[in-house]
Amino acid sequence: MSLSLSFVPDGNRRWAKEKNKTTLQGHTAGADKIKEITQWLNINTEVDECVFWCLSRSNLERDQAELDGIFYLLKHYFESMKKSFIKNQIAFLAL
């Protein structure tokens, strides 16, 4: 059986505000959760496809400092996971 999963990370800023943390700390917590999920996917052979919808067009209207933080986290995440993606034959596509 083929299994596809889709995730829409949402609420990082709300989480940060509730925890009295910075927006960047909220986005970092979200990125950490994505990393945790992808590590789980590496050992779950039933999942053939997984999609993370990380940014919408409206997200790109946020202030530049927040966007810089998000893009830094995305770059850092993919750099840190590159070897694992190659080893586990995971393809990545950014649209």
Catalytic-role residue among 32, 44, 48, 59: 59
What count of other Cβ atoms lies within 10 Å of the Cβ of residue 74?
Answer: 16
3-state secondary structure at position 66: helix
The kind and range of the H/E element at 64 are helix 64-87
7 contacts 54 by C-beta, under 8 angstroms: no
Q: Is 44 a catalytic residue?
A: no
Q: Is 59 a catalytic residue?
A: yes
Catalytic-role residue among 10, 32, 48, 68: 10
Q: Which residues are catalytic?
A: 10, 59
